Amino acid sequence: MVDRIEQLITTLEQEINDGYNTILDENFMESGTYINSAQCTLNELQKQITELKQGLEQGKNFSLLGENV
């Protein structure tokens, strides 16, 4: 699960940078797409963190190092 969260953080960072860079280029339609993608990634990241917190609180037995461990 930590691997997935790290991937989402990296993706979110890239999407925000892409959106910011295209705003500077005055390509507003493309910027909106990148920003919407970043919002979706942020929502998924929030979901994953909530799931992780709930699992830890409930004492779930899952690997924090990734799904393949």
- Residue 45 is predicted with a pLDDT of 86
* Sequence ranges of the domains in the chain: 2-57
- Residue 14 is predicted with a pLDDT of 85
Phi, psi (degrees; rounded to nearest 5) at 63:
-75, 130
- Residue 65 is predicted with a pLDDT of 54
Tokens standing for 18? 């892409």
- Residue 23 is predicted with a pLDDT of 74
The rounded average pLDDT for each run of 10 residues, N- to C-terminus, in the chain (69 residues) is: 81 82 68 79 86 83 58
